[in-house]
Amino acid sequence: MGKIEARSGIKFLHLKDYSVWHTNDETKAAYGDDCLLYDTVVRWKRDFQTGHMSLTDEPRPGRPSPTDSADTVKKVEDLILEDRRVTIHVIIHETGLSYGSVWEIIHGELDMSEVSAR
């Protein structure tokens, strides 16, 4: 069950004036083991009661992840393809990213790993 699907079900039951307990019981009956926690139903029902009727999350403040930028990922990929023996420390120096960010881009975004040929 997706987040939007679950919220739309809770919003529908809220508009029909179902209580939190009844809403929770209905979601358990509909989704079985894949249902939401009671606390989540309470939080979303409270949001709907206060007038927040959107099914999507509000944008959160904070610093965006450097791996979100396609330009950053492309720059790291270009550095690696230019010299396959480049180290993470050289990439850190060239891009100004942290060790963890570079590691996440290499292994998570680019799906690259170290290969040793002996």
Q: How many CA atoms lie within 13 A of 2 on its CB side?
A: 5
One-letter identity of residue 22:
H
Fold of 3-49: Arc Repressor Mutant, subunit A (1.10.10)
For residue 70, pLDDT over 70 is answered with yes
Over residues 109-116, mean pLDDT: 84
For residue 27, pLDDT over 80 is answered with yes
Share of the chain above pLDDT 70, in %: 93
Over residues 10-29, mean pLDDT: 92
Share of the chain above pLDDT 90, in %: 42
Residue with the larger pLDDT of the pair 1 and 14: 14
Over residues 49-66, mean pLDDT: 80
- As a whole number of angstroms, the distance between CA 108 and CA 23 comes to 39
Domain range annotation of the chain:
3-49, 66-109
